[in-house]
Amino acid sequence: MAGIYLHIPFCKQKCHYCNFHSVASLKNKDLLLEALLKEIALQKNYLGNEKVETIYFGGGTPSLLSESEINKIFHEIQSNFKISDNAEVTIEANPDDLTKTYIYSLKKTPVNRLSIGVQSFFEEDLKYLNRVHSTDQAYNSIKEAQHAGFQNMSIDLIYGIPSLSETNWYKNLEIFFELNPPHLSAYALTVEPKTALDVLIRNNKTNPVQEKQVADHFQILIDQMGTNNYLHYEISNFCKENFYSKHNKSYWLGEKYLGLGPSSHSFDGDTRQWNVSNINKYISEINNNQVPAEKENLSTDQKYNEYILTSLRTMWGTDVSYILKKFGNQYNLHFKKYVKRFIDDKRILIKNGKYCLTDSGKIFADGISSDLFV
C-alpha cells in the first residue's frame, strides 16, 4: 500500500496559527500546477511497483482548484502510477469554497472524501484564528456535501482557543453530532514560532493559549466522542467503524508515500526527502527536470524512534514483537526497560500484547514517546 500527497500552497488569506507553506495569492497558480504535472512524471519510479491506495490534496487550500484542474492532475497520476480501483481520494476544503455548485463539480472528479476545515461553529473563534469563512458557511457546506452524496467526510475542529469557552466547546461537539459526519480531526491550538499568532501573543495583541484549557477541552473531547460511539483511533482523530482516514493511517503505520509540490515530504521505508519550501524555486527546478528535494538516509535508531512516535499515537499501539523482528533484541529490551514507569503510573496499558496510551497518557503522547526513544 502506498499514498500520494499533493501540496497546493495557495490561500485566500493566512490563518493566524498556520505554519504550513502557503501564500495568500494566486499569482503563480497556473505555473505551479504545470510544474506539479511535470513532477508527477519525474517521480513516477519513487514508489516502485506499489499500488497507490490513497491520494490526498492538502495545502494551503486545495479547494481553490477547479474541476478541470483536479481532473488534469488525476489523469497525470493515473498515467504514471498504478492506482487502486477503490482508492481513497481526499481533498481539504474550506467551507466558503464548498458552494452547491462547487460541491457538484467535485462529484465529476475522482474525489470521494472531503476534509472540511470548520475549526469552530462560533464567529469569535473564527475571528481569533483569522479564518475566512462564517459559521453559517461551515454548517451549510456540510449539509450541502451530504445532500450531494459525500458521505465519507471529515470535519476539522480546534480546541484550546482562548475565545472558546467550555460551554461553546460542548456546543461545537453537539453540532458535530447533530450533523453526524463519520470522522473528526480535532487539534489543540498550538502557537508555532514566527506565525502571526505567535507575534500577536508576544506583543500582547491577543490572548495567549492556556495549557489547562487545552487539557480540559481534550478530556471533554475524549469523553464526548466515546459516549457517541466514535473510535479514538489516533490522538487527534476519531471515526465511526471503517471510516478511518486511510491516507493518514498509512503515515502512522509506516507505509510508503510520495509528496508532490513545494514543501511536501516523501518516505520510501529507508529514506525521507522533502521538497523546497519556495514556489518560485520549485517551479524553476522542475522546469529544468530536477526535483528540488533534500534527502536523508534513516538510521536504525531513527526508524525505531519514528515507529515509537507514530505507533503509540494510535489505538493499535506499539508491538514489541514487531520491534524485535524489525530492529532486534537491543531495541526490544530498551523499550521494555523505559516503558515500565509509564505502565506503573497508568499512562500506558498492555492490550492484546500491544502497548497503548490510556486516556490520561494521551495528552502527554509526544513527551512519553520521546522518553522511549533511543
Give the largest CA-CA distance in the chain: 58
Contact in structure between 40 and 260 (CB atoms under 8 Å): yes
Domain pair 2-251 / 299-374, same fold: no
For position 3, what pLDDT does the model report?
98
For position 1, what pLDDT does the model report?
84
Residue 355 CB coordination number (10 Å): 22
φ, ψ of residue 292 in degrees (nearest 5) = -80, 70
| All three cell numbers of 12 | 485566500
Query: 327: which residues sit within 8 A by CB, 6+ positions away?
Result: 300, 303, 304, 307
- We find that the CATH architecture of domain 299-374 is Orthogonal Bundle (1.10)
For position 373, what pLDDT does the model report?
98
CA distances from 274 to 6, 177, 270 (A): 12, 38, 14
Phi-psi region of 211 (alpha: psi -120 to 50; beta: other; left: phi over 0): alpha
- Name the pTM for this structure: 0.96
For position 253, what pLDDT does the model report?
87
Strand order through the sheet with 153-159: 231-234, 237-239, 183-188, 153-159, 113-119, 83-93, 52-59, 2-8, 256-260, 265-267, 271-275, 293-297
Mean pLDDT by 10 residues, the chain (374 residues): 96 94 93 98 95 97 98 98 97 98 98 98 98 97 98 97 98 98 98 96 97 97 98 98 94 94 96 97 98 97 96 96 96 97 97 93 95 97
For position 117, what pLDDT does the model report?
98
Instruction: Give the three-state DSSP class for 7.
Output: strand
Domain 2-251 fold: pyruvate-formate lyase- activating enzyme (3.80.30)
Domain boundaries, the chain: 2-251, 299-374
